[in-house]
Structure 1
Amino acid sequence: ALSAAIQIMVAFCFVPAAYAIFVVKEREVKAKHQQIISGVSIHAYWISTFAWDSASYIVPSSITILLIFAFGITSYTTGWGAVMTILLIVSFGPAAASLTYCMSFLFDSHSTAQNLTLFFNFLTGLALMITSFVLDLLDSTRAANLALKHLWRLFPPFCLGD
């Protein structure tokens, strides 16, 4: 199950990076500014962006869920594990989009935003997941791991991999 979690998490690190491109690119070319001047409210802009990104997430999440069931990964497909797996994969997209929108204000270039968002997702997903796994193996660090998991769960990639 750990290798499946790593593979799923690595694949899904690319999804929020794609969200960052369009938001930063629109700011670069002042498309959002043109829409606001044309009468689109800031709320309508962000709601429509969020709705589009959430809708575009349906395809990769559906394929992933189908593949998990097709390969019969027992811990993800039996009992409550199946329900929780589906819920986690479906909720990852909107959660990652929200975090990516907040992070997008740190960037002026869409290519930099994509690369650093991808790196951030790998760091908060893969690195924290492996760190948590190692801390959980040692009796002396198990309590620290439980405390750190509460902080690390602020990051959607960690939640997906954990």
Structure 2
Amino acid sequence: GVDLLAYWLSTWMWDVISALIPGLLSMFVFLGYGFHELTGENSGAMILTILLYFFSITTFSYVASFLFDNPNTAQNVMLLLYVTLGAMLSIASLILDNIASTRDINKDLKYMYRLFPPFCFSEIVINLLIRNQNGRNLSLWDMDVTGYPMLFMFLMAFVLFIVVLCIEFVLLNPYLFTWLIPTAPNTVDHDRKEDPDILKEKERVRDMVDTGNMEMVTLCGLRKVYGTVGNVKVAVKDMHFGVPLGQCFGFLGINGA
């Protein structure tokens, strides 16, 4: 019953705030281990990086979650994916940057790598650590230091949030889902012979809705589906009933529950 935008926006904000507290505490870890390139005058850039990372990684995780049925599988796969995209891609990119023959192609590959928030975070950390090496003396906010990764994380956070809303909207509208993915199982309603009492109540409720003379509780055409993309199950199909004022009402399923 919660508005789609309100649900996902509140979930997004809660997840970001929950992750932000331990994330910001990591600044003390950097300070304790003497990573002065990540603290001091660079603290502002690092804090902004942490904030943008959590904004983007949460929406990235939301989109990826639609691909899994099992939460445990999702957690393990995504953890492995984050380690791979964050650490391994960054190390590989750093190596390619230090080889003259691959430096130019790696510059182009980075635009693809930056579609993944873990890489952006790792790229900024590495760039801050080596920013002033070899006499380069690059600006803290240089596009090749923090600019591009921050820009990509900012854009991906909102783009992926819109993608989440679109996916959820499709899943909550089974007819639209069936139209978009006609081969998806369990999304097409199958004709079943309905009980005469159910048909009678359905007609009664529809007449009430048409005339505007509805009862204290009026349910018309309730439908509920569960599942993920490609595996949507219809749990409640076209339910109708009305409860007048003062009536004690109970609803029994086909098995008496």
**Fold match by TM threshold 0.5:** yes
Q: Residue 101 in 1 paired to residue 54 in 2?
A: no
Which amino acid in structure 2 is aligned with residue 82 of structure 1? S
Amino acid at match of 1:44: A
SS at match of 2:91: helix
Q: Which residue of 2 aligns with 1:153?
A: 114
CA-CA distance at 1:82 after TM superposition: 2.5
Pair 1:82 & 2:43 matched: yes
The runs of 4+ residues in structure 1 deviating greater than 4 Å are none
CA contact (8 A) 2:20 2:50 kept: no
Task: Report the count of equivalent residues.
Answer: 123
1:56 aligns with 2:18: yes
Amino acid at match of 1:118: L
| Structure with the higher fraction of residues in helix conformation | 1
Cα contact 2:24–2:47 (8 A) shared by 1: no
1:58 is displaced (CA, Å) by: 2.0
Residue identity in the other structure for 1:150: Y
Who is 1:132 aligned against? 93
What is the 5 A alignment of 1:100-119?
Answer: 100-119=61-80
CA RMSD in angstroms, aligned pairs only: 1.3
Partner of 2:35: 73
Q: Tell me the alpha carbon deviations over residues 5-55 of structure 1, each in whole angstroms, 9 at most, x when there is no partner.
A: xxxxxxxxxxxxxxxxxxxxxxxxxxxxxxxxxx21111111121111011
TM-score, normalised relative to structure 2: 0.46
Alignment partner of 1:123 out of 80, 84, 106: 84
**Which residue identity does 2:2 align to in structure 1?**
V
Distance 1:161 1:58 in 2: 17
For structure 2, the residue ranges without an aligned partner over 5 or more in a row are 124-257
The sequence identity of aligned pairs, in percent, is 37
In structure 1, C-alpha distance between the alignment counterparts of 2:37 and 2:17, rounded to whole Å = 28
1:78 positional shift: 4.2
Cα distance in structure 2, aligned partners of 1:128 and 1:58: 24
- For the pair 1:142 / 2:110, whether they are aligned, the reply is no
Q: How far apart, in 2, do the equivalents of 1:72 and 1:45 lie? A: 41
Aligned partners of 2:65, 2:80: CA distance in 1, in Å?
14
Moved more, 85-94 or 97-106: 85-94
Query: 2:30·2:36 contact (CA, 8 Å) conserved in 1?
Result: no
Question: With CA pairs under 8 Å and 6+ residues apart, which has the higher RCO, 1 or 2?
Answer: 1
More strand by share: 2
Partner of 1:140, secondary structure, is coil
Q: 5+ residue gaps in structure 1?
A: 1-38
Q: TM-score, normalised by structure 1?
A: 0.71
Distance in structure 2 (CA, Å) of the matches to 1:129 and 1:107: 27
Matched letter for residue 100 of structure 2: D
SS at structure 2 position matched to 1:40 = coil
Maintained 8 Å contact 2:86/2:122: yes
